[in-house]
């Protein structure tokens, strides 16, 4: 597996990481823990070193999987996790209000270390910006955790350019995580130029559009009620036909390059900047192997220009998240 460095941080990771969220939901019921532990270890055997989790995934159960899987090989992997929520067992997701108060960050960091069975977190993200806590206080708290050796690098998820700059001035950011793919290119407007200016890496989540860009979802696909995508507007039946035009384009490119649509989508992301590290998620070994093949897909400048020109003519339909989640982004 090829390696990449996240910005100017010196943090080297595999060119493709592994997003682990769906191992404990929400694209359907949680998977069997022993199977997911085996999949995580298989990823390491195939050269993946960068693993993305969060206390909110499960909640709490996802980090335990990584703790079990990586015990004994901790030095071979880079673990990224996230703080930023209270937990409410009465809610449908288990999540409560945003909470990035300094005392809360300190408390949950110690709890995450126990679940991960480690003495340090390689990359600690604020999961969502808390409007009630100045970002300088958040960055300052993580800076103290770095000084104490509990954390090695700091990141933000779904943050605005203004928040990125303010945080970076207190504690240099190693990475920013946001959604980015051929289906959603919002970060290109201002986030990516800012990260390039400041020397910060970028970690796109949902690089395959939550599975849509793989071509496995069509007009007849029915999403189970336990699948969060059943509540996402852009997956709705009335928008799906318009969105499938992009999948058709990706499939055409894949045929020409003897690759799968997923590999084209991931290869395209890797071609955008050398400091971009996508984190496609999966719960299946054959999908993991397919996705990793995306790191070997290359494009000429003319091919990239052709894809951009064709994609620019396609108008996607439907919001990328339910309104409640969309309201938490870009703060």
76-111 confidence digits (pLDDT tens): 999 999 999 998 887 777 888 999 999 999 999 999
Phi and psi torsions of 52, nearest 5°: -115, 125
CA distance 281 to 290: 12
Dihedral pair phi/psi, residue 57, rounded to 5°: -80, 115
| In the block, residue with structure tokens 């919001």 | 319
What's the burial of 10, exposed, middle or buried (CB within 10 Å: 0-12/13-18/19+)?
Answer: exposed
Residues carrying an active site annotation: 57
Confidence of residue 319 (pLDDT cuts 50, 70, 90): confident
Return the structure tokens found at 311: 């994609």
Residue with tokens 């055997």: 45
pLDDT in tens, 116-134: 999 999 999 999 999 999 9
**Which residues face 151 on adjacent strands?**
121
pLDDT per position as a tens digit, 179-212 = 999 999 999 999 999 999 999 999 999 999 999 9
CA nearest to 80, candidates 171, 149, 175: 175
Task: Specify the residue for token string 């532990």.
Answer: 37
| Res. 250 pLDDT band, cuts 50 70 90 | very high
Domains of the chain: 3-208+273-297 (3.20.20.100)
Of 163 and 319, the structure prediction assigns the larger pLDDT to 163
Calculate the average pLDDT of the chain. 95
CB 142 within 8 A of CB 124: yes
Residue 93: its pLDDT value, please? 79
Helices 237-256 and 261-272: crossing angle in degrees, nearest 10, is: 80
Q: How far apart are the C-alpha atoms of 284 and 36, rounded to whole Å?
A: 9
- SS3 sequence of the chain: CCEEECCCCCCEEECCCEECCCECECECCCCCHHHHHHHHHHHHHCCCCEEECCCCCCCCHHHHHHHHHCCCCHHHCEEEEEECEEECCCCCCCEEEECCCHHHHHHHHHHHHHHHCCCCEEEEEECCCCCCCCHHHHHHHHHHHHHCCCEEEEEEECCCHHHHHHHHHHCCCCEEEEECCCCCCHHHCCHHHHHHHHCCEEEEECCCCCCHHHCCCCCCCCCCCCEHHHHCHHHCHHHHHHHHHHHHHHHHHHHHCCCCHHHHHHHHHHHHCCCECCCCECCCHHHHHHHHHHHHCCCCHHHHHHHHHHHCCCCCCCCCCCHHHHCCCCC
Give mean pLDDT, residues 47-56.
Answer: 98
Inform me whether the pLDDT recorded for 226 exceeds 90.
no
17 φ, ψ to 5°?
A: -95, -170
Whole-angstrom distance, CA of residue 295 vs CA of residue 279 = 12
pLDDT score of 327 more than 80? no
Q: How confident is the model at residue 230 (pLDDT cuts 50, 70, 90)?
A: confident
CA distance 72 to 32: 21
CA distance 82 to 35: 23
Higher pLDDT, 325 or 294: 294
Given a cut of 80, whether residue 330 has pLDDT beyond it is: no
pLDDT in tens, 265-287: 999 999 999 999 999 999 999 99
Q: Evaluate if residue 326 carries a pLDDT over 80.
A: no
Residue 28 pLDDT grade (very low, low, confident, very high; cuts 50, 70, 90): confident
C-alpha to C-alpha distance for 291 and 266, rounded to whole angstroms: 7
Inter-residue contact 141 to 134 (CB < 8 Å): no
Q: What pLDDT sits at residue 156?
A: 98
């Amino acid at each position: 597996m090829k390696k990449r460095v996240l910005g100017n941080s010196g943090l080297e990771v595999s060119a493709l990481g592994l997003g682990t969220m769906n191992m404990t939901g929400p694209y359907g019921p949680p998977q069997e823990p022993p199977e997911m532990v085996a999949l995580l270890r298989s990823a390491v055997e195939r050269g993946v070193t960068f693993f993305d989790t969060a206390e909110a995934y499960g909640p709490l159960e996802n980090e335990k999987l990584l703790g079990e899987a990586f015990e004994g090989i901790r030095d071979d992997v880079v673990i990224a996790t996230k703080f930023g929520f209270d937990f409410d067992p009465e809610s449908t997701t288990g999540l409560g209000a945003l909470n990035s108060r300094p005392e809360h960050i300190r408390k949950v960091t110690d709890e995450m270390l126990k679940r991960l069975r480690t003495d340090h977190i390689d990359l600690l993200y604020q999961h969502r910006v808390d409007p009630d806590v100045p970002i300088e206080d958040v960055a300052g708290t993580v800076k103290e955790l770095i000084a104490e050796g509990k954390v090695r690098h700091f990141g933000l998820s779904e943050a605005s350019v203004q928040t990125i700059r303010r945080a970076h001035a207190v504690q240099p950011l190693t990475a920013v995580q946001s959604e980015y793919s051929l289906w959603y290119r919002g970060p290109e407007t201002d986030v990516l130029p800012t990260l390039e200016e400041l020397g910060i890496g970028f970690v796109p989540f949902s690089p395959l559009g939550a599975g849509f860009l793989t071509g496995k979802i069509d007009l007849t696909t029915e999403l189970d009620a336990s699948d969060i995508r059943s509540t996402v507007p852009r997956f709705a039946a009335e928008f799906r036909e318009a969105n499938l035009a992009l999948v058709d384009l990706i499939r055409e490119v894949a045929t020409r390059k003897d690759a799968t649509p997923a590999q084209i989508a991931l290869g395209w992301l890797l071609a955008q900047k050398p400091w971009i590290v996508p984190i496609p998620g999966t719960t299946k070994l054959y999908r993991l192997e397919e996705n990793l093949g995306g790191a070997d897909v290359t494009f000429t400048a003319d091919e990239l220009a052709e894809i951009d020109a064709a994609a620019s003519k396609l108008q996607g339909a439907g919001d990328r998240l339910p309104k409640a989640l969309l309201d938490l982004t870009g703060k």
